[in-house]
Each structure stands twice: as C-alpha cells, then as structure tokens.
Amino acid sequence: MPGNESGLRRIWAALLGGGSEPVKEAVSEDILQRLEKLEAQAKQAATLATACFRIDLTEHEGRLAFYYVDDETYGFLPGDARKNLEMTASLAEEYRRTPTVAPKTIFSCVFDHYWAHDLPFAFVDVGANVGTLAIDAGRLVRMAGRQNRLVAFEPGIYKSLLPYNLELNGLESLVRHEVLAVSNYDGLALMLAELGNSVNNRISIRDVATEWRSEVIRTVKLDTYCAKHGISEHLVLKIDTQGHDWKVLQGAEALRQDRLVTTLFEFTPWALRTYCDPVQVLTELLKTNWVIDCKQHCVGPRVLVTDAVTGVTNADQPPGFWTDMMLIPRKLPHAEKLVSAILEMRDQA
C-alpha cells in the first residue's frame, strides 16, 4: 500500500514520474534495496557512536545513581523517580549520611533473621548491574550499625558506573566491587552485550545476531573467591546472570554444604534447558532448601514450591517465562519462621 512505503520509496517514485517499464522497475528495485540498506547501516552507526555515552544522575527510593540514558534499565525507573539532577554539595552530603528508614524487602527480612540469631554473614550480589540491591544492602547494614561484608560482582557495561553509584551513597568502603563473572569454573569467558539492554549482559547462551559487543573477562567460583578473600561467614546471595544462575550455584557447592547460604536467584527454565534439566535442578534444590516462588521482580503473592514439576511449569508461563526463586536452607535456625515472613510479604524486593 502506498501509505506504508518508506520515505526513500516515495521519493524514488516521484523522481521516476509514475509508471515505468519492467526493466526500469527491476533496476529501480535493486537501487532502492541498496539505498535502504545504506540507510539502515547509517542509523545503526549513529546509534553505536553514541551508545553508553549519555549519563543521567537520578534519585529513587533514597538512592542516588548514575544511569546510561540509552539503556533499557533507565526506562525501568518509575514515574516518581527524579531525573536530570545536578550535583550540589548539599545533595552529595544528604545521600552519604546513614539513612534513618529502610524499605521492608525480602532481604531486610533475611538480614533481620540472621542478626536475630547471631549468624554472621556476608552479602554477595552476583550481577549487580546499576547497584540497586547492593546499595540497599549497604544501607541496611549501615543503618543497623553492623559490620557485614558486602560484595557486588558486575563485569558488564555498568562496571564503569557501579563504583560511582556506591560512592554517591557513601558505600564505597562498605561494598566491594569485583569486575569478575561468577561461574562454575575459574578461568576466562566472553562477556556478551546487547545494545541498550544491559540487563542481558551474560557469559552464556550465544546469540550472534543480537550481540553488540563482547570482551574477554575472568570468571571465578564463589568457593574459590571466598577462600581467597577469607570470607568464612554464612552467605546471603543474590544471583541474576541471565540463565547462568545454576552454574553460579554449582561453583558454590562447598559453601552450600558447609554453611548457611540463603539465595534469591532468577529461575529461567528455557535458558537452563540449553545445558541441563530445570526439573532436576529444582528437585536437587528442594532436598536441602525451602523454595519460594517469589514471582517476577519479587512481586507477590509468593508461593511455597513443594513439587519440582509444578515449579517449572509455573515459571514457564508468559509473559516473562521466568521467576525469582528464594532458597532458604532447611538447617537455618527457625527457617520456617523466615519462610512464613517472606510468604506474607506483598512488597517488592
């Protein structure tokens, strides 16, 4: 239909002056296709030239943070977030102070439970991205006057902004940032990135058609990292690695056997099927953990998982085909009490 023609085609038709012979039409179509390809390449080049260059200073829920404006994560900020802020001395001072109020989240429940039972723990954020959860965890620890160690692993595109986001909130000495990918082996990997989609930075599930850039990074097992850095405490662990989560847990096998490791991870059956059986994974986890389906982005109502097949079936549903799962070790003191507290929550984590 004429109304659906591209601008190039309308201009070309005008230059030809209407109807044309079959040969002329064939030549015209070939030239048009070449021009359209060049136009698409020019648009892509313009996008690539400015990718991850524009940065905005934002504020939301008591956090200051730098975001890449052309990244999808920036679009996730809700309407009440403050954007286009200008740094001032008073603004810098305000967010570096110890907060007096912290939101009630899944992790505040877990932290409070560990503290109430005198269980020393370190918080480890695998796939920290902008640093939202790492900042919230740091605020909780600082507000409680505790000395828990916090580590944020982020080797993706936000590795350049995360240290500044921690500093904005006065947490640079409390949260350690590591430019490492966590996996089930110590070595090297390719960090794969998609243009404008930092939440899909990953080291598994190749999709050459969508890969904007890649770089060589180092990988580490949590077992290795904790041994090297003398982290002997129990762990509260968050994992968001775009389908690599089970391999992260495999790399923490010794830790999960010897310590209490409460974990929130992204359960994505379709991604797991590229290298394992998600039903077997969930079956294995149910042996030693209470498993809670926290729904996407931890928005309830949350459900206690008792059967692996049902758990996978529920996670396989649209629109996202994934869910957040919380693992609470059965050997955790008064674990049932923590399970009940999380099931009764209705706020976003």
With contact defined as beta carbons under 8 Å apart, do 166 and 135 qualify? Answer: yes
Q: How do residues 126-172 score in pLDDT, each as one tens digit?
A: 999 999 999 999 999 999 999 999 999 999 999 999 999 999 999 99
Polymer length in residues for the chain: 349
Does 52 score more than 70 pLDDT? no
Task: Tell me the pLDDT of the chain averaged across its residues.
Answer: 89
Mean pLDDT of 199-215: 87
Q: Which residue would you say has higher pLDDT here, 224 or 39?
A: 224
Per-residue model confidence (pLDDT) at position 23: 46
Domain 96-344 CATH assignment equals 3.40.50.150:
yes
Mean pLDDT of 41-60: 73
Per-residue model confidence (pLDDT) at position 320: 87
* Domain ranges across the chain: 2-50, 96-344
CA distance 241 to 127: 6
CA distance 264 to 254: 18
Token readout for 260 is: 């209490």
Alpha carbon distances (Å) from 91 to 66, 205, 225, 326: 14, 42, 36, 36
Per-residue model confidence (pLDDT) at position 175: 98
What's the gap between Cα 255 and its chain centre?
A: 23
Q: How do residues 287-346 score in pLDDT, each as one tens digit?
A: 999 999 999 988 878 999 999 999 999 999 998 899 999 999 999 999 999 999 999 987
- What 3-state DSSP class applies to 247? helix
Per-residue model confidence (pLDDT) at position 26: 57
With contact defined as beta carbons under 8 Å apart, do 294 and 302 qualify? Answer: yes
